[in-house]
């Protein structure tokens, strides 16, 4: 049980429909707990290797729908730059692989994958969504029809900050979401009238922000000395 699931369990919250965009491998899924408890699930993943693993692990599950495309700002095809769990699409302004690992797009493998706006497949009644697309998360939010109770979204990690963090925060404010907690890569937002945030959780978020500030500073120094 990961942090997201533990925090929701403490609130006695159980979703009816969950979605994950950018799964990578089944064992790293942020919503694995709900998938394996037969909660209705939509998974979206563009990488053929990951798709094969998902089908092998969960292919016979009646509660799961798997869609095989990258969520983008348009419909068509796009380059997926292969960087393991940090693989990203070419429309990303920035990504953890580029910022933290100095990923060179010209000298690494990329493949063509299908690309769609999320609105093409969003059923409109998702309760919980996890978005980890290595820099293109905003394109999911921008074209989302559902208004989930819980949104987990990759916003940071090491020296990396999501290039659309301003747009993401504004959208959350506009649609009445509150930042609940963070881990080392994700921010979790909740509808203000669904999940009540207590003082301990506010303190936990404050301390986590301090922790992340020092992690980012240390990572920045390492990158500086590595490149000099």
**Cα 190-219-185 angle, rounded to 5 deg:** 20
Chunked into runs of 10 residues, the chain (228 residues) has average pLDDT values of 96 98 96 98 98 97 98 97 96 94 90 98 98 97 98 97 98 98 98 96 97 95 84
156-157 and 160-161 beta bridge pairing: antiparallel
Task: Provide the whole-model pTM.
Answer: 0.96
**Token pair of 154 as six digits:** 């990759």
- What is d(CA 222, CA 214) in angstroms, rounded to the nearest whole number? 12
Tell me the Cα Rg of the chain. Answer: 17
- The tens digit of pLDDT for each residue in 39-64 reads 999 999 999 999 999 999 999 999 99
* Cβ-contact 126, 42 below 8 angstroms: yes
DSSP annotation of 185: S
DSSP at 93: S
């Amino acid at each position: 049980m990961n942090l997201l699931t533990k925090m929701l369990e403490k609130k006695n919250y159980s979703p009816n429909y969950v979605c994950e965009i950018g799964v990578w491998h089944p064992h790293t899924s942020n919503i694995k707990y709900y998938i394996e408890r037969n909660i209705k699930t939509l998974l979206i993943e563009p990488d053929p290797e990951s798709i094969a693993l998902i089908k092998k692990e969960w292919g016979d599950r009646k509660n799961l729908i798997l869609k095989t495309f990258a969520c983008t700002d348009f419909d068509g095809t796009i380059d997926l730059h292969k960087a393991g769990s940090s693989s990203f699409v070419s429309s990303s302004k920035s990504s953890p692989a580029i910022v933290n690992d100095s990923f060179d797009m010209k000298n690494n493998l990329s493949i063509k994958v299908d690309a769609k706006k999320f609105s093409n497949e969003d059923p409109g009644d998702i309760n919980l969504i996890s978005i980890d697309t290595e820099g293109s998360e905003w394109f999911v939010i921008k074209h989302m029809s559902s208004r989930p109770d819980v949104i987990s979204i990759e916003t940071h990690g090491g020296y990396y900050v999501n290039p659309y963090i301003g747009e993401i925060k504004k959208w959350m404010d506009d649609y009445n979401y509150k930042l609940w907690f963070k881990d080392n890569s994700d921010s979790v937002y909740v509808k203000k009238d669904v999940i009540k945030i207590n003082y301990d959780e506010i303190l936990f978020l404050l301390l986590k922000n301090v922790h992340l500030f020092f992690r980012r500073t240390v990572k920045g120094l390492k990158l500086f000395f590595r490149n000099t």
